[in-house]
Amino acid sequence: MWKKKNEPAAVISKEHDEYLKSINKEKNFIRITQILIFVFGIIFWEAAARNNLIDTFLTSSPGAIFGLIVKFVNDGSLFKHLYISTMETIGGFFVGTVGGLLIAILLWWFRKLAKIMDPYIVILNSLPKTALAPIIILWVGMGYSGIIATAASISIVVTIMTLYTGFTSVETDKIILLKTMGANKFQVLRKVIIPANIPNILSVIKVNIGLSWIGVIVGEFLVSKAGIGYLILYGSQTFKLDLVMMGVFVLGVIAAIMYVFSSWLEKKIIKY
């Protein structure tokens, strides 16, 4: 029988309701604990600095860092440096992630090419990208393009290896079934390979956010005259540890925001 329009929804059992409540309690407990760890860490750090238990010249203090942030916000310089680093990170992230995805698809499409390129990809992955950053910047350019290329170089090889492994690990029964129904290679890619690797793609996105920031900071250490990496380098060279810690703190906040956004995006995509 069809359900009537005004018929009430099915009643949740007591056991299921208790189970849902326990899950919510666990989530709330984890969130509260995470916040408390951060808050008590800041309080302990500030108390240790004020009571001369630590050397503030080497470690700075939350109060000094906050005062420096307020100063940089008031004169507008923090937003300038943050904007430059963020745009460079987005550029490196986009190039590394999209480029890695396209190359992984190309290797999956042409298996012989994948076998030929396999040792070279492994060697590239084992090379220290940060050590190659000066060479990459000289090849690409000393400006923003060099920094973006450095960020992309750190994430692109990881993206290729992760996604190609995921593409080749898809159940062959599904591929054979589609081929027996007359599907071409592009249809197999679109209907089976990509949907089966959505979790891998989302995982790569999360990882590449951090890798892109690393590449940008390394690039700014070398050639930039603005950005969060420049502030950290300038602070270390002039022994202004407050400036160094402020840069690290800002990086942590931005990384946390990007992580929360990527987690939200992951839930939306998986639900879709």
Q: What pLDDT, in 10s, does the model give residues 201-235?
A: 888 888 888 888 888 888 888 777 777 888 888 88
The pTM (predicted TM-score) of the whole model is 0.74
Residue 12 clears pLDDT 70, i.e. is over it: no
Count the Cβ atoms, other than its own, within 10 Å of residue 47. 13
Instruction: Please give the average per-residue pLDDT across 138-151, as a whole number.
Output: 80
Q: What radius of gyration do the chain's Cα atoms show?
A: 25
- The Cα 180–Cα 2 span in angstroms is 39
- 62, 46 Cβ separation under 8 angstroms: yes
Residue 49 clears pLDDT 50, i.e. is over it: yes
- The Cα 56–Cα 10 span in angstroms is 61
| Digit-coded pLDDT (tens) for 153-210 | 888 888 888 888 888 887 777 777 777 887 787 888 888 888 888 888 888 888 888 8
Annotate 157-208 with DSSP letters as a single string: HHHHHHHHHHHHTS-HHHHHHHHHTT--HHHHIIIIIHHHTHHHHHHHHHHH
- The Cα 107–Cα 118 span in angstroms is 9
Residue 74 clears pLDDT 80, i.e. is over it: yes
Residue 28 clears pLDDT 70, i.e. is over it: yes
Note the pLDDT of residue 6: 52
Residue 265 clears pLDDT 80, i.e. is over it: no
| Digit-coded pLDDT (tens) for 240-258 | 777 888 888 888 888 778 7
